[in-house]
Chains A and B, each alone.
Chain A
Amino acid sequence: MASPNDLQFQEFEEAAELLSADPGASTLSMSASNTSTPAAATVGGEDVKLDLSEDEEGREESSELLGGQKPSGGFWTFEYYQSFFNVDTVQVLDRVKGSVMPLPGRNFVKHHLRSNPDLYGPFWICVTLVFSVAISGNLSTFLSELGNPSYHYRPQFHRVTIAAVVIFVYAWLVPMGVWGFLTWRQGAERQIGGYSFLETVCVYGYSLSIYIPTSVLWIIPFEWLRWTLILVAMVISGSVLVLTFWPVVREDTKAMAVATVVTILVLHTLLAVGCKMYFFQTAVHVPTTFPTSHPVPITTATKAH
Chain B
Amino acid sequence: MAAAEEASRPFAGLSDVSISEDIPVEGDISVPLGPSTRRDEEFSTLDEPVKETILRDLRAVGNKFIHVLYPKRSTALLRDWDLWGPLLLCVTLALLLQGGAADSDDQGGPQFAEVFVIIWFGSIIITLNSKLLGGTISFFQSLCVLGYCILPLTVAMAVCRIVLVGGSGTVSFAVRLVVVTASFGWSTFASTAFLADNQPPDRKALVVYPVFLFYFVIGWMILTFSPSQ
Q: Which of A82, A124, A155 contacts B209 (CB 8 A)?
A: A124
| B220 cross-chain contacts in A, Cβ below 8 A | 131, 135
Q: Which of B110, B132, B134, B202 contacts A90 (CB 8 A)?
A: B202
Contact indicator B107/A128 (Cβ below 8 Å): no
Given A152-B229, A153-B101, A127-B108 contact (CB < 8 Å) = no
| A153 cross-chain contacts in B, Cβ below 8 A | 101, 224, 226
| B108 cross-chain contacts in A, Cβ below 8 A | 154-155, 157
Contact indicator A157/B109 (Cβ below 8 Å): yes
Given A81-B132, A154-B102, A157-B110, A89-B202 contact (CB < 8 Å) = yes
Contact indicator B226/A158 (Cβ below 8 Å): no
Contact indicator B226/A155 (Cβ below 8 Å): yes
Given A88-B203, A89-B202, A154-B226 contact (CB < 8 Å) = yes
The B97-144 residues at the A interface (CB cut-off 8 A) are 100-102, 106-111, 114, 129, 131-134
| A158 cross-chain contacts in B, Cβ below 8 A | 106-107
Count residues on chain B whose CB falls below 8 Å from chain A CBs: 31
Count residues on chain A whose CB falls below 8 Å from chain B CBs: 24
Check B67 for interface membership: any CB of A closer than 8 A. Answer: no
Contact indicator B107/A88 (Cβ below 8 Å): no
| A120 cross-chain contacts in B, Cβ below 8 A | 129, 132-133, 206
Q: Which 3 A-B pairs have the closest CB atoms?
A: A155-B224, A85-B132, A154-B107
Residues of B at the A interface (CB closer than 8 Å) are: 100-102, 106-111, 114, 129, 131-134, 202-206, 209-210, 213, 216-217, 220-221, 224-226, 229
Residues of A at the B interface (CB closer than 8 Å) are: 78, 81-82, 84-85, 87-90, 92, 120, 124, 127-128, 131, 135, 138, 152-158
